[in-house]
Amino acid sequence: MSSHIHELWNDLGLPEEYPELDPEAILSRVEAALEQEEAASAPPEGPRQNSMKKKMKWAVLLAATLALTTGAALAAAYQMGVLDLFFTRGDASVVEPYVQDTIKSVENEDYRLTADSMLYDGQNVFVVLTVEGLNQQAIDDLMSNRAFAEAHREPWGEDMVSRLLESGSTGPDGISYDLRTHSGSMGIHDLPNPSGTSRSWQIDIQFGEYVGPLEEPLNVWLAFMGRDYAVRLPMDSVVEPIRVTPDLEVISNEFLGLRGRLKELILTPVSYSYELERLGDWSSYADSITDLGVATDLFYLKMKDGSILTLAQLGDVDHQFEQVVDLTQVDSIVFDQWEFPVDGSPAREAELDPRLRPFLMDPPSPVYDLEGLRLGHLSLRQLCERLGAEYRWDEDSQTATARYRGVTITATAGSSTILVDGQPIEATYYSTKTDENGDEMYLPNPAVPVPDGCDLLVGHHLLEDAWNIWCLGCWSHDVSPEGFQFDAWLIIP
């Protein structure tokens, strides 16, 4: 089974030769993007918390960096449309009729701004944006990032200008959107430059609630062009969603005991949303065990062929999927202990394999790298027992073989090369280093499995990708001299 990056790689139809790219510049831009997200969320000092959205965007950025710095084989990624970039699992053809790819460009004497393709599902906007310099000075300013940097001078000051010139980032105000009737949030990721005169980004905008089709277009513009030169994204065409209005009490988070009354649930091919009236005390949502908060939404799709899709399989990121769902093939929606048939039949108690529900798993003995960094290793044997997966251990070769959801992993103690359905994959983790300028760099390192009796302690990143599960470390605050204690693994199948 190939990773998502390998699947994209194989589907690109790349030419035999690729343009030269500057690895240091790419790394700098990735680091700048990470810094922007970290500044926006202002996390506390201490072990990195596993916010689901940050976790997934971190993976996207690092995967892009690695692909770009190993031969530039993704240099043609700008040719990919919005479906290829945002939805990396399964068949996306059911939403192809709703992709807009003939949006009118806007230009002034220096730049042309184009929305190459976009998709709107009633709450989320996914768009690929490209800007092209139209004269030599504009090209120089765009490719050196001076265009974005100078646009930040007045509101942010000289320090921000210097940082953006060095990093190549668009900055906090570089790309903006405006829809007067609804608020939301925006994520921006660099794409490889389409040419030596242009730059591209993939952008997702998420409104605070499902709003459906809108007559008013969404305006998106660049700071150095100004709002008068905004591309206007049409918002009047969406796939008809599935709606259920149960008005039933549910458990929103079984670990924290959070209850609510589910008023409405909306499913689109690429996302879901719901209205929940909170009941009782929700103060434990900010519990000392930081990551139990992400175990909300006991949400599953029962399909007409009898299969069940979990949020981890769908690749959920803040209610946005990586896999497109064919709504005509959905039989029912499960939320907590209730099952809601999509044909309007009355809700019933859900019959669901308990192994599909999130669970806590004790951490193994700590595994550290040479510099004393605690690694994200977990017990493969214990994980398989809890998931109901196959597990075999060969004492002579110190090799573990595990199979789950039709995917086989073979790992050997002391080797970071893991076989996934027979294909060698290098298991890695990322550490932070400080360069001579005092700037942080994110560097890959081999994640070597460690034997523990007839068990193997393995890094969690590869398991997540191969089996479509989430493995999140839960930390307690202020219970040790360091201020944090690693309590458990939270596994979301």
**Average pLDDT across the chain, whole number:** 81
Give all strands of the β-sheet with 377-379 in edge-to-edge order: 377-379, 455-459, 450-452
What pLDDT shows up at residue 345?
93
- What burial class does residue 267 get, using C-beta atoms within 10 Å of its C-beta: 0-12 exposed, 13-18 middle, 19+ buried? buried
Query: What percentage of the chain has pLDDT greater than the value 90?
Result: 54
Who wins on pLDDT, 87 or 57?
87
Look up residue 375 and give its amino acid.
Answer: L
pLDDT of res. 453? 87
* Location of each CATH 3.30.457.10 domain in the chain: 359-492
Tokens of 196: 């030596």
pLDDT at 26 (0 to 100)? 43
Given a contact cutoff of 8 angstroms between Cβ atoms, the answer to whether 257 and 264 are in contact is no
Least confident of 33-37, 181-185, 268-272: 33-37
Q: How many CA atoms lie within 13 A of 75 on its CB side?
A: 17
- Beta-bridge partner residues of 391: 402
What is the pLDDT confidence band of residue 296, given thresholds at 50, 70 and 90? low
Task: State yes or no: pLDDT of 21 exceeds 70.
Answer: no
Q: What is the mean pLDDT of residues 222-229?
A: 96
Lowest mean pLDDT among 221-225, 370-374, 412-416, 470-474: 370-374
Between these two residues, 246 and 59, which has the higher pLDDT value? Answer: 246
Q: What are phi and psi of 147, to 5 degrees?
A: -60, -50
CA distances from 464 to 41, 323, 472 (A): 24, 15, 10
- CATH top-level class for 359-492? alpha beta
pLDDT at 25: 45
Q: How far apart are CA 201 and CA 193, in angstroms?
A: 9
Highest mean pLDDT among 309-313, 325-329, 373-377: 325-329
3-state secondary structure of 470: strand
- Over residues 432-484, the pLDDT tens digits come to 777 666 667 777 888 888 998 899 999 888 899 899 998 888 776 555 555 56
Q: b/e per residue, 36-59, with b = 16+ CB within 10 A?
A: bbeeeeeeeeebebbbbbbbbbbb
Tens-place pLDDT, residues 400-426: 999 999 999 999 999 999 999 999 999
Please report the pLDDT score of residue 78 as a whole number: 44
Residue 65 has pLDDT above 50, yes or no: no
pLDDT of residue 81: 85
More confident residue, 44 or 98: 98
What type of residue sits at position 468? N
Higher per-residue pLDDT: 15 or 319: 319
pLDDT digits (tens, 9 = 90+) for 121-165: 999 999 999 999 999 999 999 999 999 999 999 999 999 999 999
pLDDT tier at 227 (50, 70, 90 boundaries)? very high
Residue with more model confidence, 466 or 297: 466
Query: Roughly what angle, to the nearest 10 degrees, separates helices 23-41 and 52-69?
Result: 170
Q: Where are the alpha helices (DSSP H) in 318-412?
A: 380-387
Q: What is the pLDDT of residues 316-354, one digit of tens each?
A: 777 899 999 999 999 999 998 899 999 999 999 998 999
